[in-house]
Amino acid sequence: MSSEGLVHYAESKVRLPGDPLAAVSRLAAGGLHEDYVVYENSGQWAFASGVLADVRLDRTGARLYGVNDMFLPWDGDPLRQVRRLLEAVQVDSWRAYGWAAFELAYAKEGDLTGVGDERLLHLVVPHTEVRVQYGWAHVRSADKQTLAAVLAALAQEPAGPTRSSRPVDVRREGAEDYQRAVKLAVEEIAAHRFQKVILSRVVPLAQEIDLVGTYVSGRRGNRPARSFLLNLDGVEMAGFSPEVVIHVDEDGRVVSQPLAGTRMLTDDRTENQRLRTELLSNAKEIYEHAISVKTACDELHTVCTPDSLSVQEFMVVRERGTVQHLASRVSGKLARGRHAWDAFGATFPAVTASGVPKAAAYASIRSHEGQARGLYSGAVLTVDASGAMDAALVLRAVYRRDGTTWLQAGAGIVEQSRPEREFEETCEKLDSVARYLVPADVSADRTSSVG
């Protein structure tokens, strides 16, 4: 790319001795720009605000808006189109932040079955960005005035505690319908249509939720692999991802971290150890995990050099919020000519949120869930001009769109599954968010209603 016409960030680096969670959440609540993304990745926190470049994908094609505009009509290879648009972004050393919907799984192979008019992917290169690591905040912005405003905000004293959370009971409804769907899926598996499918259920939330406050409260109560908070063109969510779909370093090293197999976490250490032992010895959970790891290996084999593939960890236990999971780590090195988007395409959606084999699982999901998943079991991701990528699986989240707020969770169904246990597993996962929901501040409305 020619350097002529490139947008360059104004930059500064300052010491940030306080809590990075408090700092990035304060920026998110501060209203610097309407659109923002907060993303936590292995000790680095990022706050991306405003839009210099905007990439969107739907069934008609891929569009780039901002410092330069392009449109690529649908050609059946949408991830290649997204990559082309990002390569055309006229911003020096850009990093893009955003999300991919679950239904991108159908479209990425050229199949528009099951894809409506909704966005499949939305990425932004921010106007202003803050990255916090090792007690330092690296701030950059497209204009010096905003840079100074962010530096001033970071220098402020941390705000007081957020309002108290108000837990929601996720066991009060939906059990009968979900257990019926699980029973039918088990019958499909017994008929050899597929080996595993993840079926989810939705819990609508009637109360207004403070997503920033919920993010802070939930992050303090969870130990996620990644966490995120975003508002992009009216699509909002806050979540605590237990799993990485794909991580690609600048040098092409690829890592995927499948999690499958679940038991709850309690306040009783002895009971947790009992459940951990049960998890590590349960035939159904071990089988569910093993076929997920094999699928992850098979997928990376299509984009990595064969001799580089390895399972660095196998079936260790990871604690994630209110549950503990069986976890493995599969890694490899991208083959010559392959890119991060190839690795993303090979592994998305995560096998632990779709099924085995994936194509047959998709059909079951569409049949039993009855509505598009959208953000749920998609990905929140960052993509760098250097070729690096990090994509977190969107689970353990609260979602808001078009005035509707909801929770969603699923369970892995195999032939040995019992409907009652799978429903309970969804509840255990939902509690990772439901316990930490912070109601929105409606005091002004209450005052006006009192008169």
Per residue in 120-172, pLDDT (tens digit) is 999 999 999 999 999 999 999 999 999 999 999 998 876 666 679 999 999 98
Q: Give the separation between CA 122 and CA 104, rounded to whole angstroms.
A: 11
Q: Are strands 379-384 and 70-73 parallel, antiparallel or unpaired?
A: unpaired
Is position 104 within any domain?
A: no
pLDDT of residue 159: 65
* CATH number of the domain bearing residue 405: 3.60.120.10
**What is the DSSP secondary-structure string of 361-424?**
HHHHHHHHH-S--TTTTSEEEEEETTS-EEEEE--SEEEEETTEEEEEEEEEE-TT--HHHHHH
pLDDT of residue 449: 27
Residues facing residue 55 across a β-bridge: 64, 123
To the nearest whole percent, how much of the chain has pLDDT over 70? 96
Confidence at 18, pLDDT banded by 50, 70, 90: confident
pLDDT of residue 145: 97
Q: How does the average pLDDT of the chain come out, rounded?
A: 93
Q: Give the separation between CA 261 and CA 85, rounded to whole angstroms.
A: 38
Closest CA to 438 of 167, 38, 224, 161: 167
Per residue in 229-266, pLDDT (tens digit) is 999 999 999 999 999 999 999 999 999 999 999 999 99
Domain tally, the chain: 1
Confidence at 7, pLDDT banded by 50, 70, 90: very high
Catalytic residue among 103, 243, 422, 428: 243
CA-based end-to-end distance of the chain: 62
For residue 287, what is the enclosing H or E element?
A: helix 283-301
The DSSP code for 33 is: -
Can 415 be counted among the known catalytic residues? no
pLDDT of residue 322: 86
Is position 160 within any domain?
A: no
Sheet with 355-356, side-by-side order of all strands: 10-15, 136-141, 128-133, 44-49, 36-41, 226-232, 235-241, 397-401, 404-413, 196-205, 355-356
Which position has the token pair 């941390």? 158
Is residue 447 scored above 50 in pLDDT? no
The structure tokens listed for 149 are: 């405003």
Per residue in 215-234, pLDDT (tens digit) is 999 999 999 999 999 999 99
The structure tokens listed for 333 are: 């090195």
Q: Give the separation between CA 36 and CA 380, rounded to whole angstroms.
A: 13
Is position 273 within any domain?
A: yes
Is residue 288 scored above 60 in pLDDT? yes
The mean pLDDT of 307-323, rounded to a whole number, is 92
Q: CB atoms < 10 A from the CB of 338, how many?
A: 18
Closest CA to 411 of 245, 221, 101, 181: 181
Confidence at 445, pLDDT banded by 50, 70, 90: very low
**32 φ/ψ angles, rounded to the nearest 5 degrees:** -55, -50
Per residue in 62-104, pLDDT (tens digit) is 999 998 899 999 999 999 999 999 999 999 999 999 999 999 9
**130 φ/ψ angles, rounded to the nearest 5 degrees:** -125, 125
Which position has the token pair 């988007």? 341
pLDDT of residue 67: 83
Is residue 436 scored above 80 in pLDDT? yes
Cis peptide preceding 357, ω within 30 of 0 = yes
pLDDT of residue 160: 62
Is position 84 within any domain?
A: no
The structure tokens listed for 218 are: 């939930």
Is position 60 within any domain?
A: no
Is position 103 within any domain?
A: no
**What is the DSSP secondary-structure string of 71-128?**
EEE--S-HHHHHHHHHHT--BTT-EEEEEE-TTHHHHTTT--TT--SS-SEEEEE-SE
Closest CA to 255 of 367, 405, 389, 132: 389
CA of 312: how far to CAs of 69, 138, 402, in Å? Answer: 43, 32, 42
Between residues 321 and 107, the one the model is more confident about: 107
Closest CA to 123 of 37, 47, 9: 37
Cis peptide preceding 306, ω within 30 of 0 = no
Is position 142 within any domain?
A: no
Q: Containing domain of residue 250, as a range?
A: 175-443
Based on DSSP, count helices (H) and strands (E) in the chain, helices before strands. Answer: 12, 23
Looking at residue 142, its amino acid is: A
Rg of the chain over Cα atoms, rounded to whole angstroms, equals: 22
pLDDT of residue 442: 65
Is residue 5 scored above 80 in pLDDT? no
pLDDT of residue 4: 62
Q: Give the separation between CA 428 and CA 418, rounded to whole angstroms.
A: 15
Is position 182 within any domain?
A: yes
pLDDT of residue 410: 97
